[in-house]
Amino acid sequence: MTRTAFAAALALTLPLLASAPAFAETVSTQDFVNKVAISDMFEIQSGDLAAKKAKHEDVQDFGEEMVEDHTATSKDLKALVKDEDIKATLPAELDEAHKAKLDELNSASGEAFDKAYVPMQVAAHEKAVSLFAAYAESGDNEALKNWAGDTLPALKEHLKEAKALNTEIAKPAKTAEADDATPMAEPKTDKAMDDKAMAEKVTEETDVKGTEEQAKDEKPTPPAFNYVTRQEPTDWTAQALLGRTVQNEGGQTLGEINNVILNEKGKVVAVTIGVGGFLGLGEKDVGVPFDALKFRSEDAMEKNAETETDKDAKTEDKTTEAVDADDPLHSDIVVVVDATKEQLEAAPTFVWLGEKREKRAATDSETTVE
């Protein structure tokens, strides 16, 4: 089935509020857990408000993403704290600073809501990137460090999306008053029209032949961009990716690539991987950032399987492996994602634009009935 999608934020984010203090290079486990848990609670509540009160549809969609993503990350964090026996306490409610921000959003609606919510998200994601980078670098719990590092690329992508929204809502709307203020051109006088008609007639009669001959000799002006004239050995086509089986480093099959997502600037944002189900039934799409994909030769995968306990053998640079330079489909290359099948099956389902509108329309319909 054909789907249309573009830039969408993918994966999980844990932004903090703009009012939070700057993060130090070393973050304690308790501090990290506390900030992340409070952020999840706030993002779920503020995202729900955005889906209902925002004026711009893109802001509504962003709010819905926050609700879905942070509901999932809240569960993940609780599971980590429990399963890994992390010495940290989860907060039961928002702190005063976050409550004040939520009050501010509750009191706004429409355009005023957008202008309060979106800049708040930009500042929050900037601080979130700093927090997760700091803990991924120097945290004292290995499981949380790995989780912070895995989440960081998605945080950066969400920051880009929030900044784009901020730019969009900052644009001044074109008003009818502005149109009325534009001076109308004065009507041409009969004499001016007669002069113009005469000049055009003279030009047509005297120059048309020479112009036609000159046009035959002129070459078209080249465009501002350079043409791409060939496929490089490391270039991939959508044809080669669609339907490609994805594995992890241990050789476990995770699913197949169902779609490739580009944004309007030409960047490959993500792929959707079909996971779960049986013979296509019950399968769901999971969005994975394109930079999380690794491309390994079949020989390298076999070598990794033979040396399963050798970590160095599993972390070879994928970009230096030899490839068949004459194979446009890269048949000897395996697409690898650093995740388990269970992790992808537990990941949030990727939501397409049309599905978001249908979901919001259904919610509005239920509210009307009530």
Residue with tokens 């049986």: 278
Tell me which residue of 345, 342, 335 sits closest to 298, measured CA to CA: 335
Q: Which domain holds residue 347?
A: 238-357
Residues 6+ apart with CB under 8 A from 45: 94, 102
Task: Kindly tell me if the per-residue pLDDT of 77 is higher than 70.
Answer: yes
DSSP bridge partners of 261 = 270
Task: Kindly tell me if the per-residue pLDDT of 214 is higher than 70.
Answer: no
Task: Check whether residue 41 and residue 165 sit in a common domain.
Answer: yes
Task: Check whether residue 248 and residue 136 sit in a common domain.
Answer: no
Task: Check whether residue 78 and residue 166 sit in a common domain.
Answer: yes
The pLDDT > 90 percentage for the chain reads 26
Task: Check whether residue 135 and residue 36 sit in a common domain.
Answer: yes
Task: Kindly tell me if the per-residue pLDDT of 171 is higher than 60.
Answer: yes
What is the model's pLDDT at position 86? Answer: 82
Task: Kindly tell me if the per-residue pLDDT of 292 is higher than 60.
Answer: yes
In a domain, 289, yes or no: yes
d(Cα 332, Cα 125) in Å, to the nearest integer? 39
In a domain, 213, yes or no: no
In a domain, 49, yes or no: yes
Among 156, 171, 186, identify where a domain stops: 171
Domain count, the chain: 2
The pLDDT > 70 percentage for the chain reads 71
Give the pLDDT mean for 138-147: 89
3-state DSSP assignment of residue 149: helix
In a domain, 190, yes or no: no
Residues 6+ apart with CB under 8 A from 303: 313
Task: Kindly tell me if the per-residue pLDDT of 196 is higher than 80.
Answer: no
Task: Check whether residue 242 and residue 344 sit in a common domain.
Answer: yes
What is the model's pLDDT at position 264? Answer: 84
What is the model's pLDDT at position 200? Answer: 64
What is the model's pLDDT at position 157? Answer: 85
Domain of 34: which CATH number? 1.20.1260.10
Q: CB of 138 within 8 A of CB of 25?
A: yes
Tell me which residue of 39, 68, 64 sits closest to 129, measured CA to CA: 39
What is the model's pLDDT at position 316? Answer: 46
The tens digit of pLDDT for each residue in 243-255 reads 899 999 888 999 8
What is the model's pLDDT at position 286? Answer: 93
What is the model's pLDDT at position 220? Answer: 83
Which of the residue ranges 46-60, 177-191, 223-237 would you say has the lowest mean pLDDT?
A: 177-191
Q: Are strands 284-289 and 293-297 parallel, antiparallel or unpaired?
A: unpaired
What is the model's pLDDT at position 79? Answer: 87
Token pair of 77 as six digits: 């964090």
In a domain, 281, yes or no: yes
Task: Kindly tell me if the per-residue pLDDT of 284 is higher than 70.
Answer: yes
Angle, helix 110-138 to helix 142-170, in steps of 10 degrees: 150
Instruction: For residue 302, give the DSSP letter.
Output: H
Q: Are strands 268-275 and 284-289 parallel, antiparallel or unpaired?
A: antiparallel
DSSP bridge partners of 255 = 246
What is the model's pLDDT at position 18? Answer: 37
What is the model's pLDDT at position 326? Answer: 73
Among 143, 171, 199, identify where a domain stops: 171
The tens digit of pLDDT for each residue in 311-367 reads 444 444 444 444 556 788 888 899 999 999 899 989 999 998 887 777 777 766 665
Tell me which residue of 238, 26, 211 sits closest to 131, measured CA to CA: 26
Task: Kindly tell me if the per-residue pLDDT of 233 is higher than 50.
Answer: yes
Task: Check whether residue 247 and residue 333 sit in a common domain.
Answer: yes
d(Cα 107, Cα 130) in Å, to the nearest integer? 30
In a domain, 227, yes or no: no
Task: Check whether residue 50 and residue 131 sit in a common domain.
Answer: yes
Indicate the pLDDT class of residue 128, thresholds 50, 70 and 90: confident
Among 155, 171, 187, identify where a domain stops: 171
Instruction: For residue 319, give the DSSP letter.
Output: G
Indicate the pLDDT class of residue 297, thresholds 50, 70 and 90: confident
Q: Which of 165-179, 213-227, 278-292 has the highest mean pLDDT?
A: 278-292
Domain of 323: which CATH number? 2.30.30.240
Task: Check whether residue 166 and residue 242 sit in a common domain.
Answer: no
In a domain, 195, yes or no: no
d(Cα 117, Cα 47) in Å, to the nearest integer? 9
Q: How many residues does the chain have?
A: 370
In a domain, 199, yes or no: no
Half-sphere exposure (Cβ direction) of 61: Cα atoms closer than 13 Å: 21
Strands (E) in the chain, as ranges, are 245-247, 253-262, 268-275, 284-289, 293-297, 333-337
What is the model's pLDDT at position 172? Answer: 74
Average pLDDT, the chain: 77
Give the pLDDT mean for 190-207: 59
DSSP bridge partners of 294 = 336
What is the model's pLDDT at position 155? Answer: 78
